[in-house]
Amino acid sequence: MRENFKTVTLILLVLCSVGLTYHIWFGASPLKESAAPRYEYAHFVEQYSRKEIVTPSLIVFEGEEEDVFRRGEGEYKRLWKEGGALLGRLGRQTFNRISEAEMEVLLEMASSKTIFMFMVPLPVTFFLPEFTPSELNICRIFIIWEEHYYYVILEGEEIFTRRVFMDADEQLLGNLRPRESCRHLCLPDRLIFDLPGNNFLEPGEGDIVNLGTAGLPVGESDGPGLPIRDVKEDGENVFCLKLKDNRIFVPLDSFAAAELSLQKEKIDKEELVRAFFLDPSIARLIEERDGATFFTDGEKGLRIYPDGLVEYTAPGLVHIPPAMPYSAALQKGAENLRLFGGWQPGIHLTRVEMQSEGYRLFWETFYAGLPLVGRRAGTELVINEIGVFYYQRDLYQVVGEIGEKGSFRPFDEALAKAVLIYRESYPENEGILLGIEPVYYFSVEGMGTAKAVPAWSVSISGLETMYLHWQTLEPL
Amino acid sequence: MNLSRAKTVLIYTFLLLNVFLCYQLWQDQGYGGFAAFGRKEEISRLEGELQKAGLLLETDLPKTIGPMAYLVVEPWHYSPAEVIASFWEILEGKGEPRPEVAIHLGAGDEEKEENNLAGYFFGRYELIPSKTGVATLKYMLQENEKDELIAREKIAWQLVNNLTIFEDFVPDYSCSTGEGKIVLFRQEYEGFPLFAGYLHYSSLERQRIVQFYRLEVLGFAGQEREIVPPSTALLRFLEVYNGTEAGACIIEFSLGYYTREYDAERWEIPPVWRIRLNNGELYYINAFTGNVEI
């Protein structure tokens, strides 16, 4: 009995020593692991395709007259959908490289064409994944019709074209013709204003300050609907407005708009925090005196202001060189916009700047063809190889129109008023016109609500962009 | 030797072996005085990184403790009049009549003027509260005033021991600068150092400066989480440390709570590993993320 007890004890001790030796030799990890963080994916909206990241800034149909369609208009959406589908069908076609002169010849010979113009260059691979060279960034796409075939011209750093013979399926090409008219004028490279006796008066019925013929190219001086008077170019009573970009389109026909009632988009704060901090439990909360809430993990910070403005910074990523390709920056930027609050309908990528620390991307809201501008409305995101290091989001949704629609004052009156304002600061007889377009000008009314007033946005070199009330032309 | 005797010998041998192995495991859990087998790689890595950074570790790394939570704090709201009365009693004595307090806006150093709310002058003293909650008391020494080292520190101790606003303050450390000596106290909450709350008593040649900052602690935030072990924190520190001073060494490695001063209503502050070098430099490593707190 005693021997049996000794045997069992010995066996237990041997097993115990084996176990302890194993535990010491291979045992517990040297560093104690933290509790597993809880990760979860945060998506505010469904995934977008790459084709929706970049949209044309303008769609121009050049036939007997020029029709221009802007973001947010129904016809714009239809034309871009058809244009995108056409490009998609060309996926496996071979394109030929042509020179600028060859392109000009093709364009001059064309009786009618549709042009998709991109302020933010469109990476060719977004629509044609197998295109070579894959790094082509398209500034303009031309579609030129002939009787039995059509040309597609892709203009970027280089120019490529493809002639496609129409088969039965290609009858759909007719869908690329506008179904509505939206006549526009492409402004000439110089505009001359009559300044009677150097006394600037309020522009009235188009008879006090008006565009002159002197600056108009031959053949355009009697263009449709252009208010032209005989004005002598020489002399002190003349103001010359030169154009920086000779592709500025202004509407010729009267068009109407109404003031808009806006509401701040509602974003789930918790979901937003989860989007920025993979493990939200490490984000500590700071309640600021102005009512803003600030979340930080010591390296990056997310501030949500009482009025809903969202601002995120990760200063540690600033010094990373922007080695990423342009198309990747757009794609990652779009992915992050979806993650950080969502890509709401009506938002378009309007500007991309390459800076030393990364790509800076801007989105704006469009409604019925007009962008919502003013203050800080919109979204801005700065991204580099490592990630997003700055993000600001201040988006409003259109609730509805306020009151009856009214007509915009003609563009020449808006230009004349802008010249009057310009002359108050600069007495010269010359200026450079950077742009003119109809917009909705944004003004905050109360917490979370705002109003947008239709306005002419006029940019003249040397002055901040002027926003002129669409009916009174008073600066906003 | 018979089998029974052999079994007895083996039982004693294995018993001794098991005792030794248990002791090793005990060491491994961090209760012993030297490194266990399982940490050898980690120790050698730490030594290598310290050598690369040109630093010496002249203190023991603390033991890892269990999960911790954020601490919720808000700024300490105080009445300058009450603070002035308290300081006056300690520095001048209870019986001494307090002169009128003169106030003027935008006091203090020019570069800090924006943050300063006002300057309160009473006798030879000037109290300057700032928007962030930091307050500074300055005064010049009188001709007949004792200027001995013991007297200097005594005043600092008197302030901390006798003023109720500093009841949760404890001595931190002291250091000498080219201009004089600084005695530092820090706030404490439930046994944890609160490095963010401090009192600095600087004795310069003819001037004394008392700078203090206090936080109202509302309690711990609900959710607890594991903290990074001291060895990991030290490695993260060595990754970012770029000092070149010869002979620099780590003289303190401790766990507490830290935040920079915010002009905010309420905020959460994380546990940190504080690393203090012999040249006076302080580093705070967030004990949740391992990132350096700025």
- Taking the C-alpha atoms of residue A88 and residue A318, their distance in angstroms, rounded to an integer, is 37
User: Is B104 inside any structural domain?
Assistant: yes
Answer yes or no: do B133 and B250 share one domain. Answer: no
Q: What is the pLDDT of residues B61-103, one digit of tens each?
A: 887 677 899 999 998 888 888 888 888 888 887 777 777 778 7
Once rounded to an integer, what is the mean pLDDT over residues A119-135?
87
In this prediction, residue A15 carries a pLDDT of 92
User: Is B43 inside any structural domain?
Assistant: yes
Count, residues in chain A: 476
Q: Which of B3, B39, B269 sits opposite A284 (nearest CB)?
A: B269
* Interface touch B226/A13, C-beta < 8 Å: no
Answer yes or no: do A385 and A281 share one domain. Answer: yes
Answer yes or no: do A289 and A315 share one domain. Answer: yes
Does A319 lie at the interface with B, CB-CB under 8 angstroms? no
User: Is A16 inside any structural domain?
Assistant: no
| DSSP letter assigned to residue A475 | B
Tokens 């064409």 belong to residue: A113
CATH number, residue A408: 2.40.128
β-strand partners of A351: A362
Contact B135, B212 (CB under 8 A): yes
In this prediction, residue B224 carries a pLDDT of 86
Does A24 lie at the interface with B, CB-CB under 8 angstroms? yes
Structural domain that includes position A272: 266-394
Q: Which of A376, A394, A412 is the last residue of a domain?
A: A394
User: Is A23 inside any structural domain?
Assistant: no
- Taking the C-alpha atoms of residue A337 and residue A312, their distance in angstroms, rounded to an integer, is 12
Residues in chain A within 8 Å Cβ distance of B260: none
User: Is B34 inside any structural domain?
Assistant: no
What is the number of structural domains in chain A?
3
| DSSP letter assigned to residue A319 | T
Tokens of B211: 């700078």
User: Is A41 inside any structural domain?
Assistant: no
Q: What is the DSSP string of A292-308?
A: -EEEE-SS-EEEE-TTS
User: Is B28 inside any structural domain?
Assistant: no
Region at A466 (left for phi over 0; alpha for psi -120 to 50; beta for the rest): beta
Answer yes or no: do B145 and B172 share one domain. Answer: yes
Once rounded to an integer, what is the mean pLDDT over residues B131-144?
82
Once rounded to an integer, what is the mean pLDDT over residues B55-65?
82
User: Is A11 inside any structural domain?
Assistant: no
User: Is A5 inside any structural domain?
Assistant: no
Answer yes or no: do B148 and B267 share one domain. Answer: no
Q: What is the pLDDT of residues A291-307, one digit of tens each?
A: 899 998 878 899 998 88
Does B17 lie at the interface with A, CB-CB under 8 angstroms? yes
Contact A455, A438 (CB under 8 A): yes
Answer yes or no: do A275 and A293 share one domain. Answer: yes
In this prediction, residue A171 carries a pLDDT of 60
Q: What is the pLDDT of residues A171-226, one digit of tens each?
A: 656 777 888 888 888 888 788 777 654 333 333 333 333 444 333 333 343 433 34
Structural domain that includes position B111: 76-219
Once rounded to an integer, what is the mean pLDDT over residues A50-56?
89
In this prediction, residue A40 carries a pLDDT of 56
In this prediction, residue A421 carries a pLDDT of 86
β-strand partners of A352: A361
Does A17 lie at the interface with B, CB-CB under 8 angstroms? yes
Answer yes or no: do B141 and B45 share one domain. Answer: no
In this prediction, residue A237 carries a pLDDT of 62
pLDDT range class, residue A44, cuts 50, 70, 90:
low
Nearest CA distance, A25 vs chain B (angstrom): 7
Distances (CA, A) of B121 to A161, B78, B105, B205, B208: 81, 17, 11, 21, 15
Answer yes or no: do B208 and B227 share one domain. Answer: no
CATH number, residue A300: 3.30.310.160
Contact A231, A192 (CB under 8 A): yes
Best A287, A304, A313 member to test B by mutation, with max B CBs in 10 Å, is A287
Does B262 lie at the interface with A, CB-CB under 8 angstroms? yes
Distances (CA, A) of A208 to A17, A188, A230, A334: 106, 21, 12, 48
Answer yes or no: do B84 and B52 share one domain. Answer: no
Residues in chain A within 8 Å Cβ distance of B231: 30-31
Cis peptide before A133 (omega within 30 of 0): yes
In this prediction, residue A169 carries a pLDDT of 58
Q: What is the pLDDT of residues A71-112, one digit of tens each?
A: 988 899 999 988 888 888 887 778 889 998 999 988 888 888
| DSSP letter assigned to residue B259 | -
In this prediction, residue B193 carries a pLDDT of 93
Higher pLDDT, A324 or B146: A324
**Candidate from A76-85, A265-274, B108-117, B255-264 with smallest mean pLDDT:** B108-117
Q: What is the mean pLDDT of chain A?
A: 80
Q: Which of A350, A373, A394 is the last residue of a domain?
A: A394
Residue of A nearest to B42 (CA): A30
Q: What is the pLDDT of residues B266-277, one digit of tens each?
A: 999 999 999 999
Angle at the Cα of A300 from the Cα atoms of A294 and A301, rounded to 5 degrees: 15
Q: Which of B200, B219, B238 is the last residue of a domain?
A: B219
Answer yes or no: do A299 and A388 share one domain. Answer: yes
Answer yes or no: do B202 and B122 share one domain. Answer: yes
Answer yes or no: do B66 and B90 share one domain. Answer: no
Residues in chain B within 8 Å Cβ distance of A289: 263-265
Does A15 lie at the interface with B, CB-CB under 8 angstroms? no
Answer yes or no: do A190 and A175 share one domain. Answer: no
User: Is A133 inside any structural domain?
Assistant: yes
In this prediction, residue A447 carries a pLDDT of 64
Does B8 lie at the interface with A, CB-CB under 8 angstroms? yes
In this prediction, residue B142 carries a pLDDT of 75
**Angle of the A2-26 helix axis to the B3-28 helix axis, nearest 10:** 30
User: pLDDT at residue B47 above 60?
Assistant: yes
Answer yes or no: do B205 and B240 share one domain. Answer: no
Q: Which residues of A111-147 are buried (b: 16+ CB within 10 A; e: fewer)?
A: eebbbbbbebbbbbbbbbeebeeeebbbebbbbbbee
- Taking the C-alpha atoms of residue A433 and residue A461, their distance in angstroms, rounded to an integer, is 6
Least Cα distance to A363 among A352, A248, A59 occurs for: A352
β-strand partners of A127: none
Answer yes or no: do B173 and B103 share one domain. Answer: yes
User: pLDDT at residue A396 above 50?
Assistant: yes
CATH number, residue B55: 2.40.128.690
Distance of CA A121 to the CA centre of its chain: 11
Residues in chain A within 8 Å Cβ distance of B46: none
β-strands A370-373, A430-446 pairing? parallel
Three-state secondary structure call for residue A415: helix
User: Is A206 inside any structural domain?
Assistant: yes
Answer yes or no: do B65 and B100 share one domain. Answer: no
Q: Which helix (H) or strand (E) holds A63?
A: none
Higher pLDDT, A256 or A34: A256
User: Is A222 inside any structural domain?
Assistant: yes
What is the number of structural domains in chain B?
2
- Taking the C-alpha atoms of residue B104 and residue A3, their distance in angstroms, rounded to an integer, is 95
**Angle of the B149-162 helix axis to the B80-92 helix axis, nearest 10:** 140
User: Is B5 inside any structural domain?
Assistant: no
In this prediction, residue A68 carries a pLDDT of 92
Answer yes or no: do A92 and A207 share one domain. Answer: no
- Taking the C-alpha atoms of residue A301 and residue A298, their distance in angstroms, rounded to an integer, is 7
